[in-house]
Amino acid sequence: MFTERINYAWRVLATGFSFACFFGGGLLLALTVFPAIAVAASDPYRRIRATQLVIHRTFRFYLTMLETLGILTISVKDGDRLSDGRGRLVIANHPTLLDVVVLMALLPRVQCIVKNELWRHRYLGGVMRWAGYIRNDLEPEALIAACKDAIAEGRSVIVFPEGTRSRPGEPLQFRRGFANIALLAGVETQLVVIDCQPVMLCKGDPWWKIPPRKSNFRVTIGERIEPIVLEPDQYRSIAARRLVRRLEDYYTEQLAHG
């Protein structure tokens, strides 16, 4: 019992330290490394690639630090499916705050769809632009075109179809936006299942509310969906609803069987 209490106290302190490193390190990179890349790489393509590579390696280091501190463990199944360098639409469930960090650590070239608030952020706005990320307030046609162009250039686009972190015990509810991207962009879709047991940093929880034991992230690189071509007499809205239901069922089944 005493040992468990010591371990819990250590993980609370380590979690606080890791959050400080995340925000402090992110601010430091935003003020130093990323502006230097923007100046050195005048070509937009090289600038985007270099910025995304720094983010990828930083997140890999960060996850290694979390594992070393004893906060969590991470296991990846069939990770080689992401190693061919091709761009895809990557769909993942969203149980924790760390999901995007995990995915960007696995994928060296990632395009994110970010909130307009981040795009206009005093310190992070430049990073969003230098990394070539996509604003979520674009017109639908422009958003689809940006996703399609990024994937054609070999960058994967991450989308969380829930739109926000899920709550433990509640059924998955996917929004239709990802389905419209998949149908209109005509690209491959890679499904990724993220399971965290016991769950940590879920929606509504403060950073210091950690589980009684170390969390294990299990990331499964699952089914791959080939580009979907609509028939001339097929309505996109109906196809989108079918795709949403199909993926809700898929993720529910995968998570149920763990």
Pairing of strands 72-77, 156-159: unpaired
The pLDDT, as a whole number, for residue 205 is 87
What whole-number distance in Å separates Cα of residue 216 and Cα of residue 135?
Answer: 32
pTM over 0.85, yes/no: yes
What whole-number distance in Å separates Cα of residue 60 and Cα of residue 54?
Answer: 10
**Tokens read off for 226:** 């080939």
- The per-residue pLDDT for range 10-47, each reduced to its tens digit, is 999 999 999 999 999 998 999 999 999 999 988 988 99
The pLDDT, as a whole number, for residue 36 is 95
Domain 2-257 has CATH 3.40.1130: yes
The pLDDT, as a whole number, for residue 59 is 96
* HEC-encoded secondary structure of 227-245: CCCCCCCCCHHHHHHHHHH
What whole-number distance in Å separates Cα of residue 133 and Cα of residue 136?
Answer: 10
Spans of all domains in the chain: 2-257
Name the strand (E) or helix (H) holding 224. Answer: strand 215-225
| Ranges of the chain whose pLDDT falls below 50 | none
